[in-house]
Amino acid sequence: SALLSLRDVWVEYGDRIILEKVDLDVEAGSFVSVVGPSGAGKSTFLRVILGQEAPTRGKITLDGAPLAPECGPDRGVVFQRYSVFPHLSAVQNVAFGLECAQAPVLARLFGAARKQALAEAAAMLEAVGLGHSLDLYPAQMSGGMQQRLAIAQALIKRPRILLLDEPFGALDPGIRADMHALITQLWRQYDLTIVMVTHDIREAFTLGTRVLALDKRRHDPHAPHRYGATAV
Ligand code: ADP
Ligand code: ADP
C-alpha cells in the first residue's frame, strides 16, 4: 500500500475551493511532482501534507496512520530559501537536524552523542558535495550550496518522505541542472520517497516518476488555462 495517501482531500477558504477532491497515493520509492501555475494551490497542498494546515475535509495517512499535526522526523522539507540557520555553520546546521529528530525535547546533545552527530553530519555533507565546506556559514555559500546544505539537513533525519517546495526555483539554469543531477542521485542512493512542488512543468516531468497537475481554473474561472496535462 502507499506510503503517503490522500483521500478526498478538500481545502476551501470561504466559498473558494482551492483543492478539490485530491486523491493521491505516493508509493514508497516514487518521486511525485506537483505542478501548476502560481495560485493553483501548490503551497496549500504542501502545508496540508506538512500538517501545518488541516484540510477542510478528507483523510491523509502516512504509513497507514493519521498524519501527525506537526512536521516530525518522518518528514524532511526543503524550501526555496531560508531552510537553514544563518548563525550555524554547515556541519552545525546538519547536526542540528539530527539532534531535533533524536532528542526533540532536549534538542541538545552532549559529549559522545554530539561528536557522533557531527561525524554523521560531515558524512551527509560529503554526500551532497559539501565535504570541503563543513565550517562555512550559509552567508558564505552560493545559492546552490545553500540548497545542498538544506537537503543534507533534511536527509540526516532519514525521513520517511522528503518534501521539496520549489527547491531550485531561485537558482540559475546551469546550477539547477547540477541540482537535478544531485537530487536524482540521492533519490536512488538513499531509496528516497520524494514529493516536489514546482511551477516549472519541464522540471516536474524531468524529475518526477508521476506528475500531479493542479489547475487554477478549478477555483478561479477567470484564470487562463495554462496546463492541459493532468495527473499521470
Ligand atoms: P477532469 O475534470 O476531466 O478530471 P482535469 O484536467 O480538470 O480533468 O483534472 C484532472 C485531474 O486533476 C482530476 O483528477 C483532479 O483531481 C486533478 N486536479 C486538477 N486541478 C485540481 C485542483 N485544483 N485541486 C485538486 N485536484 C485537481
Ligand atoms: P500556489 O502555491 O500554487 O501559488 P497557493 O496555495 O499559495 O498557490 O494559493 C492558492 C490560492 O489560495 C490562491 O488564490 C491564494 O490566494 C489562496 N489562499 C492561500 N492561502 C489562503 C488563505 N490562508 N486564505 C485565503 N486564501 C488563501
- Asked whether residue 101 carries a pLDDT value surpassing 90, the answer given is no
Number of residues in the chain: 232
Distance 213 CA to ligand 1 centre (A): 7
Q: What is the DSSP string of 136-194?
A: --GGGS-HHHHHHHHHHHHHTT--SEEEEESTTTTS-HHHHHHHHHHHHHHHHHTT--E
Q: What is the pLDDT of residue 232?
A: 42
pTM for the full predicted model: 0.83
Q: What is the pLDDT of residue 230?
A: 45
Q: 210-213 and 31-35 as β-strands: parallel, antiparallel, unpaired?
A: parallel
As a whole number, mean pLDDT of residues 16-26 equals: 92
Measured N-to-C along each axis, helices 90-102 and 111-127 cross at an angle, to the nearest 10 degrees, of: 120
Q: Which atom of ligand 2 is nearest to the CA of 214?
A: 3
Q: Encode pLDDT of 66-75 as tens digits.
A: 887 665 678 8
Q: Encode pLDDT of 179-231 as tens digits.
A: 999 999 999 999 999 999 999 999 999 999 999 999 876 666 676 655 443 44
User: What residue's CA is closest to ligand 1, atom 18?
Assistant: 214
**Predicted ipTM?**
0.59
Q: What is the pLDDT of residue 228?
A: 41
Mean pLDDT of the chain: 88
Q: What is the pLDDT of residue 229?
A: 38
Q: What is the pLDDT of residue 116?
A: 86
Contacts 24+ apart (CB under 8 A), 14-17: 16/219, 17/218, 17/219
Pure H helices in the chain: 42-50, 90-102, 111-127, 143-155, 173-189, 201-207
| Ligand in closest contact with the CA of 8 | 1
Q: Encode pLDDT of 25-81 as tens digits.
A: 999 999 999 999 888 999 999 999 988 899 999 999 999 988 876 656 788 899 998
Distance CA 184, CA 192 (A): 10
> Does the beta carbon of 52 sit less than 6 angstroms from any atom of ligand 2?
no
112-116, 126-130, 135-139 — which is least confidently predicted?
112-116
Provide the edge-to-edge strand list for the sheet that holds 75-78: 75-78, 161-165, 194-198, 31-35, 210-213
Task: Single out the residue of 204, 211, 212 nearest to residue 183, CA to CA.
Answer: 204
The grid coordinates listed for 87 are 548563525
Q: What is the pLDDT of residue 105?
A: 44
Largest CA distance in the chain: 60
4-8, 57-61, 79-83, 174-178 — which is least confidently predicted?
79-83
H/E element, 17: strand 16-26
Distance CA 180, CA 196 (A): 12
pLDDT band at 135 (very low <50, low <70, confident <90, very high): very high
Distance CA 166, CA 188 (A): 20
Query: Torsions phi, psi of 74, nearest 5?
Result: -75, -20
* Residues lining ligand 1, Cβ inside 6 A: 19-22, 41, 213-215, 218, 230-231
What residues contact residue 49 under an 8 Å CB cut-off, 6+ apart?
4, 6, 60, 67, 75, 163, 195
